[in-house]
Structure 1
Amino acid sequence: MSGEASEAITFQVTDAVPGVRYAAPMTEFPSTLKTWRAARRMSQLQLAVEAEVSSRHISFLETGRARPSREMIGRLGEALQMPLDARNQMLVTAGFAPRYQQRRWQADEMAPVREAVAHMLDNHAPYPGLAVDRLWSVLRMNASARLLYGPLGLTEGGSLLDLLVSDHVPDVIENWPEVAHHAARRLRIESAAQGGVARLDAVAEHLAQVPLPADRSLAPVVPTILRAGGMRLALFATIAQFGTPEDLLLDDLKVELYFPADPESGEALRALAKVCG
């Protein structure tokens, strides 16, 4: 099969892009590949099948006896379902320039994406919705979300992670232990999918310290029950992501749409929107 050389190789950076930061030593490629394969719980044979190469070649790549091509790294990234940022790092460790950019949210090229997100969020009113990045920083909120989260200190540009570890949140979330438990689980899943994110892991560990009640809910979905300003709102969320991202920001961007978990919460949100609209 193509690219299955076995000779020892010397790495050097090729097709370098001005202004791009190369963050990892190139000699780390074999350990990077092994780490991701272990994280996905795949044997060398399983990875070889998914990447359409021989298990012998995977072994040579992991021992440094063979050098991967850019095309091979792309196939490995697909087979291992690696996030785009990790694929960039794997390219760097093999001596290549990163492939994927991270554009600014306000960049001209992102205008269609911003419009799509705004459409989803604005048409979701009077229910709250927001868009968050990899570290749960809020890129955009609809009017209902601003009404709901503004009193808690969360605005566009703010961090949901900071809100989760703040002291006053347990006072306004009626079922905080359950919410904290599920938030910790989601953070761990997202961190694992990205190969480990220290900030997500730290917040997950913090939330995991909240003791769970003995009589946990057996409902189909655990809502977040907010009590504020004399209102009681029970909400659950759906999460949407872009299906074909080629940008680091879009690879991690999530649109969270909240729905009422009971008729009373729906009525309260509609009434609140009318009063403040």
Structure 2
Amino acid sequence: MTTQFGGLLREWRETRKLSQLDLGLNADVSARHISFLETGRARPSRAMVLNLGSVLEVPRGSRNAMLHAAGFAPGYRARDLDEADMVPVKAALEWMLERHLPYPAMVLDRHWTIIRSNATAQMMLSQVGIGEGDSLIDALLDATRLPSVIENWQEVAQHLVHRLRAESAHFGGDACLDERAAQLAAQIGTFAPGSGAGGEAIVPTRYRMGTSTLSFFSTLSQFSTAEDIALADCRIEHLFPADEQTREVLKALVASEG
């Protein structure tokens, strides 16, 4: 009979589209043992649960669920950035945000809540009433906020739907991200890309700020060795100018603020 742990293991293996043989090879155990774990004929050690969770790239919070299902105490916790052992992490985040000026950058959690942002990002987002602690997804779904200042909204929104779905898949399914992706997809309806679709290296976001239109593309970074649940889900989004005009406007803007 399948145990709770066995069911979770099978779900994650199927989510990652691995056969029992594939998982066994990657985890350095036999496919037969994987089968026994999934059916409950064998019980895993704590080390085995952690090994399989790592191979399957299971998010830390879900690894805790696997540990609990196998009868073990949680192995991971979520810390606040103000805790003592997070001081180096907090300093690194602040360094990345500040060094990215005059370009905007922000730190987002799993559900796109803004944890930290630099001065340029704050300046840009404040014009639509968004600040630290607010959900970027909520602002994207509100037609009076971010969609109202993004000139190529339909094009950008289509990419955001794909990003939300991809992030949900990484987490093995996230109801919040799935729901927001569905809401956003319903809002934009059927979108037919222009004739040049696929011909560009990037799709910039054209953000209207006052009398200027700023064009950006972004990169995402994360902590590669994070064991903390919240930190492992954290993303640092850096926006870069997609044209020279945007670069010059941002340099002048920050200079005037200084």
TM-score (norm 1): 0.88
- Residue 75 of structure 1: CA displacement? 1.3
Q: Which moved more, 1:122-131 or 1:203-212?
A: 203-212
Q: Name 2:229's counterpart in structure 1.
A: 248
Q: Name 2:216's counterpart in structure 1.
A: 235
- Residue 164 of structure 1: CA displacement? 1.1
**Alignment partner of 1:234: what SS?**
strand
Q: Name 2:183's counterpart in structure 1.
A: 206
- Residue 178 of structure 1: CA displacement? 1.3
Q: 1:134, 1:170 → 2: CA distance?
A: 21
- Residue 62 of structure 1: CA displacement? 0.7
**Alignment partner of 2:10: what SS?**
helix
**Alignment partner of 1:257: what SS?**
strand
Match status 1:267 vs 2:243: no
Q: Which moved more, 1:176-185 or 1:166-175?
A: 166-175
Deviations 1:101-157 (A, max 9, x none): 110122121111111010011011110000111111111110010111111121111
Q: Name 1:170's counterpart in structure 2.
A: 147
Match status 1:183 vs 2:164: no
**Alignment partner of 1:88: what SS?**
helix
Q: Which moved more, 1:167-176 or 1:34-43?
A: 167-176
Contact 2:76–2:227 (8 Å) recurs in 1: yes
Q: 1:140, 1:115 → 2: CA distance?
A: 12
Q: 2:21, 2:212 → 1: CA distance?
A: 56
Structure 1: segments with no counterpart, 5+ residues: 1-7, 10-26
Q: 1:262, 1:155 → 2: CA distance?
A: 26
Q: Name 1:128's counterpart in structure 2.
A: 104
Q: 2:84, 2:113 → 1: CA distance?
A: 21
- Residue 160 of structure 1: CA displacement? 0.7
State the aligned residue count: 253
Letter in 2 for 1:193: H
**Alignment partner of 1:101: what SS?**
coil
Q: 1:223, 1:172 → 2: CA distance?
A: 14
Q: 2:30 aligns with which of 47, 54, 65?
A: 54
Q: 1:122, 1:260 → 2: CA distance?
A: 16
Q: 2:63, 2:10 → 1: CA distance?
A: 14
Q: Name 2:239's counterpart in structure 1.
A: 258
Contact 2:104–2:119 (8 Å) recurs in 1: yes
Deviations 1:10-67 (A, max 9, x none): xxxxxxxxxxxxxxxxx42111111000001011111111111111111111111111
Q: 2:73, 2:155 → 1: CA distance?
A: 44
Q: 1:272, 1:154 → 2: CA distance?
A: 19
Q: Percent identity?
A: 46
